[in-house]
């Protein structure tokens, strides 16, 4: 997601007298955001969601909140958003950002709270004029950590489908994280096909054979052809592209 520093977001407050939009059933029954979190600046945004700085008043820790941007999201949008949260939340690995909670804001928009990260992406390292703080050995170790996290996802039946330098973060204290499970696929399930764009959003990408999912330059040939039965080998191909870029 693109960084949008300095964009302040007002604290969410519950207003029981305010008129609420009609929400799909899947958005009901979630914990209101104002009961637990104080919202700060916007950290980034994408096609469907935004990431906000927040403080968890119950635990006393800083977190990141990913929230849908649409005021009245459709059932389909909510299902996709909540699927991302649940896939990420079910994958317990040091290199996968933990999800703390699913909930809704004062307008009923779904959100999920997750660990707030501090670090730099591989893409930013590749572009940096001075990357001496992150020598090649550190980058290779990070990629090895990513491979282990992706292997875990594959054993659980999930395919990331958008592995690239922008979605690999190196933490300030030796951590590594695989970011953005928004287009992850559950093995054996059909879903909408989308492609990542340069501004961090997603949009359809139609090829001669159908629709593709991923980021051009890192997607496997079968993804580029829009094949439906993409499997774990697509992620392996993408990791190979990242390794090639890292070494050249």
Q: Give me the residues paired with residue 76 across strands.
A: none
DSSP characters over 68-102: E--SS--HHHHHHHHHHHHHHHH---TTBPPEEEE
Q: Nearest CA to 35 among 18, 11, 51, 53?
A: 11
Please give the Cα distance from 212 to 228 (Å, whole number). Answer: 9
Residue labelled with tokens 């009923």: 108
Please give the Cα distance from 193 to 170 (Å, whole number). Answer: 29
Q: Nearest CA to 233 among 144, 154, 168, 180?
A: 154
Which member of 12, 105, 145, 162 is catalytic?
162
Question: Is 162 an active-site residue?
Answer: yes
Q: Give me the residues paired with residue 53 across strands.
A: 64
Judged by DSSP in three states, 192 sits in: coil
Judge contact between 211 and 13, C-beta under 8 A.
Answer: no
Give the pairing of strands 119-121 and 110-115.
unpaired
Q: Which residues carry out catalysis?
A: 162
């Amino acid at each position: 997601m693109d960084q949008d520093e300095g964009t302040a977001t007002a604290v969410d407050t519950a207003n029981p007298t305010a008129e609420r939009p009609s929400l799909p059933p899947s958005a009901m029954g979630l914990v209101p955001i104002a009961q637990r979190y104080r919202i700060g600046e916007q950290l980034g945004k994408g096609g469907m969601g935004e990431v906000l700085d927040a403080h968890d008043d119950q635990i006393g820790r800083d977190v990141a909140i990913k929230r849908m941007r649409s005021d009245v999201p459709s059932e389909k949008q909510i299902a996709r958003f909540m699927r991302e949260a649940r896939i990420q939340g079910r994958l317990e690995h040091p290199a996968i950002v933990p999800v703390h909670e699913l909930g809704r804001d004062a307008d009923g928009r779904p959100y999920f709270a997750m660990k707030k990260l501090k670090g730099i992406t591989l893409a930013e390292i590749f572009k940096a004029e001075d990357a001496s703080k992150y020598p090649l050995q550190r980058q290779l170790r990070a990629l090895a950590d990513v491979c282990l996290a992706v292997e875990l996802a594959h054993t659980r039946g999930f395919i990331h489908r958008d592995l690239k330098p922008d979605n690999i973060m190196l933490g300030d204290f030796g951590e590594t994280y695989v970011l953005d499970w928004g287009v992850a696929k559950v093995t054996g399930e059909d879903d909408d096909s989308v492609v990542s764009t340069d501004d961090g959003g997603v949009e359809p990408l139609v090829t001669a054979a159908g629709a593709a999912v991923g980021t051009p330059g890192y997607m496997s040939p079968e993804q580029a052809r829009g094949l439906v039965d993409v499997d774990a080998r697509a992620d392996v191909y993408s990791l190979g592209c990242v390794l090639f870029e890292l070494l050249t």
